[in-house]
Amino acid sequence: MRRPSDRIVAAALFTAFFALYALTAQRGLGWGDSGEFQHWILDGKNISSSEGFSNLHPLYLAVAGAFASSPFSVTLVSSLFGALAVTGFFFLSRNLAVSVLFGLAHAVWWLSCVAEVYTMSLAFIVFETYFLLKWRDSGRIGPLAALAALNGLHLELHNIALLALPVYAFVFFSRAKAEGWKTSCKKGALAFAVWAVAASYWIWAFITRGPADVLVGNYGAEVAGLLPARWHVAVFNWALAAMSFAPVATLFLFSRRVKKDALLIALFAVHFVFWARYFIISQFTFVLPSLFFAFLAVAAAKVRVRFALAVAAMELALPVAAYLTLSRVGFPSWYWSHPHRDDAAYFALPWKHNDDSADKCASEQSGPWDGYWHPERANGVTVK
């Protein structure tokens, strides 16, 4: 029997995962940044407000605002780009089994079900990596220009796009030695022009608002690592991330072939170090790039169907086990308390279609919902 083409497989993969994420996505209002994004997009908040530019993620607001008409439709942007990232992973790896396991990983699924910027950022990283490898192996200007355009647009979304630039520069210098500096500089100048056009809004903000506002916003001390290490926060986030890394670690231990590409190892290291030392309460959400490169490393291995099903079962069982554990031992006391919300279920279980806790809280306080519970505005009374 003739095997289906990669395009057909990719289309089926995208459809399946978009359906999965959309069906399990949060239906109404979200918590934290999710609710704040919904507020900005649906209530037309001016993004040139007092918020630091790095906290605004203008490309996400523009894309979601182009068609979103309800809180759920804002959340579907995450589902869409989560499915796109899984599809891009398949084009990179040509391994359907590992692509499915990547899409079922806790962090990928979880962030595809809430209104957040991280799955859009992941999609950029996946396709940047695709064109990076094409450019490294061929030296053609087309993949280089595509890489530059994607990274520039990615920068309009999130400053995490800056992390890969030193690695890209290393590839440029390596190619320059192979093909000559004159040729490489011409290609580099064209790529820089493409990048500058794609990142023009970010560059304009950098000039007009200042480097500190654009690069770190309200999180300068956290980004620079100047705050004391909050190990209780880090350990909790690492435990959440372990649910995503456990399947890829299992694949690594039982696979005979692992892709040992120095370029991919460097990209993994850059993102992993940034994530592991970024001691903020929502640190867990920055795990996607590291997880992507870890899965890509094991995608060279052939995975038997039975083994893939066993790993998929692990991916479904771990969140349930984490939920039962958190429910029994209690949620960390240092984390914000939220009325109506089962915090253990919210963080441990990736599916969010049955969570309406934010809607209940919004109905019990005056003013627009911005993702946070304000006790002073409870019962429809605003306390001045």
Q: Which helix (H) or strand (E) holds 246?
A: helix 231-254
What are 77's two structure tokens? Answer: 């942007």
Give the span between the Cα atoms of 318 and 244, in whole angstroms.
Answer: 9
Q: Residue 1: which pLDDT band, with cuts at 50, 70 and 90? A: very low
Give the span between the Cα atoms of 115 and 118, in whole angstroms.
Answer: 9
C-alpha distances (whole Å) from 244 to each of 43, 57, 166, 221, 334 are 35, 25, 27, 28, 23
* pLDDT (tens digit per residue) in 127-167: 999 999 999 998 899 999 999 999 999 999 999 999 999 99
Whether the CB-CB separation of 182 and 138 falls below 8 Å is answered with: no
Whether the CB-CB separation of 41 and 66 falls below 8 Å is answered with: no
Question: Which residues have CB under 8 Å from 133's CB, separation 6+?
Answer: 92, 263
Which of 236, 263, 248 lies closest to 167 in space, CA to CA? 263
In this predicted structure, what is the pLDDT of residue 381?
46
Q: Is pLDDT above 90 for 296? A: yes
Specify the range with the lowest mean pLDDT, choosing from 102-106, 232-236, 353-357: 232-236
> Which residue would you say has higher pLDDT here, 180 or 377?
180
Give the span between the Cα atoms of 331 and 50, in whole angstroms.
Answer: 33
Give the pTM.
Answer: 0.93
* pLDDT (tens digit per residue) in 175-189: 888 888 888 889 999
> Which residue would you say has higher pLDDT here, 65 or 105?
105
Specify the range with the lowest mean pLDDT, choosing from 62-76, 90-104, 161-175, 248-262: 248-262
In this predicted structure, what is the pLDDT of residue 382?
41
Whether the CB-CB separation of 136 and 263 falls below 8 Å is answered with: yes
* E strand spans, the chain: none
Half-sphere exposure of 85 (CA within 13 A, CB side): 34
Please report the sign of the dihedral spanned by the C-alpha atoms of residue 91, residue 95, residue 98, residue 99.
positive
> Which residue would you say has higher pLDDT here, 99 or 227?
99
Task: Look up residue 161 and give its amino acid.
Answer: A
| SS3 call for 3 | coil
* pLDDT (tens digit per residue) in 299-313: 888 888 899 999 999
In this predicted structure, what is the pLDDT of residue 167?
95
If you search the block for the tokens 């399990």, which residue do you land on? Answer: 24
C-alpha distances (whole Å) from 191 to each of 13, 145, 172, 174, 184 are 32, 5, 11, 16, 10
Give the chain's mean pLDDT: 88
| SS3 call for 365 | strand
Ramachandran angles phi, psi of 354, nearest 5°: -105, 15
If you search the block for the tokens 């009374």, which residue do you land on? Answer: 381
Dihedral (C-alpha) 268, 271, 276, 281: value to the nearest 10 degrees?
-140
**Mean pLDDT within 249-271:** 87
Give me the helices (H) in 51-180, please: 58-67, 71-93, 96-104, 106-111, 118-138, 141-157, 165-179
